[in-house]
Chain A
Amino acid sequence: MSTLAAAWDWLADPAHWSGDDGIRHRLLQHLVLTVVCLLLSCLIALPVALVLGHLGKGGALAVNLSNIGRAVPTFAVLVLLLLTPVGRWGEGPTVVALVLFAVPPLLTNAYVGMREVDRGVVRAARGMGMTGRQLLFRVELPLSLPLLLNGVRIAAVQLVATATLAALAGGGGLGRIITAGFNLASTPQVVAGALLVAGFALVVEGVFETAERLAPAWARGGR
């Protein structure tokens, strides 16, 4: 309990909130990294998944990608990127690693969502004379939205975790408070940093949870 109290004191100290190493700056860095990389990953993964799902091709790739993503250690990828030329552009390795680990859940979920659209509905839409493009945007995309959004949620949680790990490889974000705490052998700071990270991750999860509750019934899906 005394460690928790010490961690609380550390958090309550205004000196720890200001400056470049301060909590406020780290929090902002973490938020920007997460949001920018989520947008970037969506831009990369979703068009590919929608086209592949619409054509019904590349299923093995889309499904295996998330298995591979799970087997490759995030930390190893961060360090490998740091040692390549990418490592020279500041947050480069962090951004690349974040996107690499957010793409598989996005791609897999969007693809599976597209393929799980009732084939009878697709055939009916074709029978009504819909073109491929109309079919994609008016039938398949709306019906696959629940699974697709679930993928976005998984990717967001994954991004928060990866951004934390980036601190081990010299990146910015809230993880830096933890690694700095380890370097100073200050358990209160380590625990305080961990509480911040855990809180951040739970808030991200909570935002998606709330968005799902507030969404119209058709976007929530029948699952």
Chain B
Amino acid sequence: MSDTGTVGQGITVTKTGEQGAFGGELLTINFGPHHPSTHGVLRLIVDLDGEQVRRLKPVIGYLHTGIEKQAEALRWQQVVVVTDRHDYLSPPINNLAYALAVEKLLGVEVPPRASALRVIMSELTRIASHLVWLGTSGIELGASTMLMYCFRERDTILDMNEEISGFRMHTSYIRPGGVMADATPRFLEMLDRFIDKMPSNVDEYEALLTMNPIFRSRTIGIGRLPAEDAKVLGATGPMLRGSGVAWDLRKTMPYSGYEKYDFEVATSDLCDCYGRYLVRIKEMREAVKILRQALDRLPDGPVNIDDRKVLPPPREELETSMEAVIHHFKLFTEGYSVPAGDAYVAVESGRGENGCYVVSDGTHKPRRVKFRSASFVNLQPLERMALNHMVADMVAIIGTADTVLGDVDR
């Protein structure tokens, strides 16, 4: 009875036989997984009445890479490299969650300079991640110039990543025990220039979108998620704060010394796509404030813990000290062992709570590494938000949920 046809790339249509409110029949539309508006490979099975969404089922897993399985086969220090790759828009923040969890089990605390550098990298990443979101969401809603502006600044941040870690995207910069290397003077100069320039760039983005009538009519009142629903559904990050709940792990459960920085938690009571947009814009401004404080108060000192059982000795020592050679050899053949137990650490990424749960059986490889990804949880309220909206609005809603499919599927 049902007949199926294809309209355009990646979309198939099936008649359901169910009667809709407008005299027509409900159609099941398959969106994706290869569809430009889904921010990666997300498949949506949507039941449409006319052009209104009546049912929506996200189908995920197209970007599953088995990162958690892979982590079990790697030594503790090697896992850092795979943490980079699940939420590929915020690698340093993923590194941080993992590093903090391992440090919690090891019972060590990193020196103040390492904490400050971790904060700097986290905030730069948050800005970069929001910029990608702003640029791609702009394109979906017809503001194609946004991408050019946003990627201009993102490229500056990637240059800084390259300067400090040697890698533009998957930095692996934050590691258990500290950070990869100290910041170079050139990095600090670049950062200083970036902090001075960024507020005027955010003004530029706002000039393009905040009062733009097309953007406003596409986002205001679209995808409403009331505060109570957002809390019950487990939403975190800008999804939760865009619904007026001032929950930010940097304030509510501080880590890496975030309690020492003066910044505001961005919230919006609009509970819609526009509210989530305002929250992210404000967060970029607040991130710049944190960066300025971190740079001005950057403490001197080491950037790694002084424990030869966890981190290798400096290169110079290898030439003169037999003990250093032994430590070096042990670390690069067997690795270090972490005391048995389990620990969970949650950090605030650009998307929400990106946590890491690690279980150790006392050996040199983790027994289990679980990434609690914000995108995976934030994607579940999609049906709740898109219900009875137009198909075109659904695209705006997926956009402002800001899910990274690598993070959803891990």
A, B from the same assembly: no
Task: Give me the interface of A with B, judged by CB distance under 8 Å.
Answer: none
Task: Give me the interface of B with A, judged by CB distance under 8 Å.
Answer: none
